[in-house]
């Protein structure tokens, strides 16, 4: 019969008290480590030949009691290594103390010498070659092992496992501890963002940090979170984009700027959407949309190669080859080819009729731009399933912050990178005409008044900055959705602690619910 979790915890707490009574600090503040486990393994030949005494640390991951000897594995941040404890090396008192008080999950420090077992496993023999302790001696300074942190709860493999997705995501520290593949996700994610940053910096871009709290949420169509600033006695919005403050930096005289930062959108959860995530945006003065597409092709190829070691990447069984030149696809033509409806000429009634016929749902307040976008999302799934494509020439109703195409005033200078049937980055020839910008903001406000909570709010401060003169520029943004798609995981899997539903056991701190209610009112 399996031991109850409560009994296991109680037993470990008892051991903790016995350790303290023996005059041993179960949570010391320092160690005497001389090598990482990886260094010990890689330097094994030299260290073992010279019979060098070394000290390693780590969490106990396995434990085999074989009478007068104990085999265990300890794991630090680099790798696992086997350790061997012998009664004859430790002395009976130290050996029995370890046998009685150490558990899988504890962190320990061990000192000894390296050798290979009969199975050729590189192993540290604890206490080998050290002065033998006196009989019945258990003083900390006489022991070749030390407790660094006593674990009070059993690791999942010991007790309940982590098969349930909700448990894995809530207790992600355990998921990462037990699953090397999950741990590798965040190593690769670090490489991904580092490669983007390095590429931009080498191309002369300056990294800046823009405010997270904004008076007006702008730069995207999304519902914002609202928070209260007590010192200023006013509400602020958590930013939904990095765009508008960065473009003010173009007015300020910088030519190439970017930020990799957190943004917040109060919208639905899906495999591709979160409410709190990392986004990168850059703005490049005097660059055209064609300059931007060439630049992005180079950037994506370099970042993907550095992160994954190749350019052929599969997602849900679809392999996309990111190498070579990417095709440019016209939005309007693609829309018309699939629907037999011209989005530039179609009326709102015609678009709603098509949506109804094809069971595409839309909000009561949906106007022409929203209808076009919802219909095209069904078409988008057919694009970029062999090689990425640049989707260009979107109708002006879709984009209030992009410059009109000089050859066709009904479309804008916008491009989307499409692969695996989804958008994996979006860029623009940036609108820098303040009069046109104001009119488009006013059109957005009409949509908002009609009930569209994601429509953009007019930002007078941004328009005023633009009135001082903003150079022609190209801009681009991508989110961590790109990484999630490339590694073939839902975006929730690629975030260490994604937002989760509240558990009944999680009580809010005193006063938090009262303040939240006041904000909602």
pLDDT at 140: 46
Which has the higher per-residue pLDDT, 450 or 109?
A: 109
C-alpha to C-alpha distances, 20 to 14, 17, 27, 50, 57, nearest whole angstrom: 10, 5, 10, 37, 21
On whether both 301 and 338 belong to a single domain, the answer is yes
The pLDDT-based confidence of 509 (bands split at 50, 70, 90) is low
Neighbour-count burial of 278, counting CB atoms closer than 10 A to its CB (0-12 exposed, 13-18 middle, 19+ buried): middle
Q: Can you tell me the mean pLDDT for 313-340?
A: 97
On whether both 180 and 255 belong to a single domain, the answer is yes
pLDDT at 450: 84
- Give the Cα separation of 521 and 519 in Å (integer): 5
Q: Answer whether residue 474 is part of any domain.
A: yes
On whether both 218 and 137 belong to a single domain, the answer is no
On whether both 111 and 190 belong to a single domain, the answer is no
pLDDT at 229: 94
The pLDDT-based confidence of 159 (bands split at 50, 70, 90) is very low
Taking the alpha carbons of 397, 403, 406, 412 in that order, is the dihedral positive or negative? negative
On whether both 182 and 125 belong to a single domain, the answer is no
When mean pLDDT is compared across 117-121, 199-203, 339-343, 456-460, the lowest value belongs to 456-460
Q: Can you tell me the mean pLDDT for 45-52?
A: 93
Torsion angle of C-alpha atoms 65, 63, 45, 119, degrees rounded to 10: 60
On whether both 140 and 219 belong to a single domain, the answer is no
- What is the CATH number for 57? 2.40.50.140
On whether both 137 and 236 belong to a single domain, the answer is no
pLDDT at 414: 95
Q: Answer whether residue 121 is part of any domain.
A: yes
The answer for residues whose C-beta is within 8 angstroms of residue 256's C-beta and 6 or more apart is: 200, 203, 204, 205, 206, 282, 283, 284, 285
- In tens, the pLDDT along 345-390 reads 999 999 999 999 999 999 988 889 999 999 999 999 999 999 999 9
End-to-end CA distance of the chain: 53
Given a cut of 90, whether residue 408 has pLDDT beyond it is yes
The pLDDT-based confidence of 130 (bands split at 50, 70, 90) is low
Q: By the 8 A CB rule, do 459 and 466 touch? A: no
On whether both 336 and 212 belong to a single domain, the answer is yes
Question: What percent of the chain lies above the pLDDT cut of 70?
Answer: 92
pLDDT at 81: 98
pLDDT at 133: 53
Q: Answer whether residue 165 is part of any domain.
A: no
On average, the pLDDT of the chain sits at 90
The answer for residues whose C-beta is within 8 angstroms of residue 198's C-beta and 6 or more apart is: none
On whether both 223 and 368 belong to a single domain, the answer is yes
Given a cut of 80, whether residue 204 has pLDDT beyond it is yes
On whether both 433 and 318 belong to a single domain, the answer is yes
When mean pLDDT is compared across 234-243, 282-291, 471-480, 499-508, the lowest value belongs to 499-508
pLDDT at 511: 53
The pLDDT-based confidence of 337 (bands split at 50, 70, 90) is very high
Q: By the 8 A CB rule, do 374 and 416 touch? A: no
Q: Answer whether residue 164 is part of any domain.
A: no
pLDDT at 138: 47
Q: Can you tell me the mean pLDDT for 506-518?
A: 52
pLDDT at 139: 45
- What is the CATH number for 398? 3.30.930.10
Given a cut of 80, whether residue 506 has pLDDT beyond it is no
When mean pLDDT is compared across 106-120, 147-161, 382-396, 465-479, the lowest value belongs to 147-161
On whether both 192 and 111 belong to a single domain, the answer is no
Tokens of 486: 């490339």
C-alpha to C-alpha distances, 490 to 274, 480, 494, nearest whole angstrom: 10, 11, 7
- Give the Cα separation of 258 and 199 in Å (integer): 11
Domain final residue, candidates 158, 189, 204: 158
Q: Answer whether residue 29 is part of any domain.
A: yes
Domain final residue, candidates 129, 158, 187: 158
The domain in which residue 26 lies consists of 5-158
How many domains are there within the chain?
2
pLDDT at 132: 55
Question: Three-state SS for 115?
Answer: strand
On whether both 148 and 207 belong to a single domain, the answer is no
Q: Answer whether residue 507 is part of any domain.
A: yes
Going by C-alpha positions, the residue among 171, 160, 151 that lies closest to residue 74 is 151
């Amino acid at each position: 019969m399996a031991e109850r979790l409560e009994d296991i915890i109680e037993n470990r707490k008892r051991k903790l008290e016995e350790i303290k009574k023996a005059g041993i600090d179960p949570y010391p503040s320092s160690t005497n480590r001389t090598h990482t486990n990886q260094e010990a393994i890689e330097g094994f030949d030299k260290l073992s030949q010279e019979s060098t005494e070394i000290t390693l640390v780590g969490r106990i991951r396995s434990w085999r009691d074989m009478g007068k000897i104990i085999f265990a594995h300890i794991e630090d941040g680099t790798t696992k290594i086997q350790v061997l404890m012998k009664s004859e090396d430790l002395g009976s008192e130290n050996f029995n103390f370890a046998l009685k008080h150490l558990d899988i999950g504890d962190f320990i420090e061990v000192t000894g010498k390296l050798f290979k077992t009969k199975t050729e496993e590189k192993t540290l023999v604890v206490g080998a070659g050290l002065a033998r302790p006196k009989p019945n001696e258990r003083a900390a300074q006489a022991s070749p092992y030390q407790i660094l942190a006593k674990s009070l709860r059993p690791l999942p493999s010991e007790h309940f496992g982590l098969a349930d997705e909700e448990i894995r995501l809530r207790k992600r520290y355990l998921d990462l501890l037990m699953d090397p593949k999950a741990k590798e996700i965040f190593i690769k994610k670090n490489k991904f963002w580092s490669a983007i940053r390095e590429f931009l910096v080498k191309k002369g871009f300056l990294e800046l940090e823009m405010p997270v709290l904004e008076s007006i949420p702008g730069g995207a169509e999304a519902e914002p979170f609202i928070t209260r600033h007590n010192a200023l006695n006013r509400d602020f919005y958590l930013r939904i984009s990095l765009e508008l403050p960065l473009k003010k930096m173009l007015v300020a005289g910088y030519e190439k700027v970017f930020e990799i930062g957190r943004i917040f959108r109060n919208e639905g959860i899906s495999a591709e959407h979160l409410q709190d995530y990392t986004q990168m945006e850059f703005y490049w003065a005097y660059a055209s949309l064609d300059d931007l597409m060439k630049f992005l092709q180079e950037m994506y190829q370099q970042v993907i190669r550095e992160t994954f070691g190749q350019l052929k990447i599969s997602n849900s069984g679809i392999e996309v080859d990111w190498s070579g030149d990417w095709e440019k696809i016209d939005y309007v033509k693609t829309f018309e080819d699939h629907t037999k409806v011209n989005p530039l000429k179609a009326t709102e009634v015609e678009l709603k009729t098509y949506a109804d016929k094809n069971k595409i749902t839309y909000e009561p307040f949906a106007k022409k731009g929203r209808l076009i976008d919802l219909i095209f999302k069904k078409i988008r799934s057919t694009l970029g399933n062999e090689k990425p494509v640049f989707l260009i020439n979107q109708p002006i109703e879709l984009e209030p912050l992009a410059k009109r195409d000089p050859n066709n005033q009904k479309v804008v200078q916008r491009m989307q990178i499409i692969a695996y049937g989804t958008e994996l980055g979006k860029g623009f020839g940036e609108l820098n005409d303040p009069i046109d910008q104001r009119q488009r903001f006013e059109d957005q406000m009409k949509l908002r008044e009609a009930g569209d909570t994601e429509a953009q709010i007019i930002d007078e401060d941004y328009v005023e900055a633009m009135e001082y003169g903003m150079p022609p520029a190209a801009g681009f943004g991508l989110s961590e959705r790109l990484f999630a798609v490339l590694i073939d995981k839902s975006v929730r899997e690629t975030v260490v602690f994604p937002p989760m539903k509240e558990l009944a056991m999680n009580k809010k701190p005193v006063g938090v619910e009262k303040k939240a209610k006041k904000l909602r009112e």
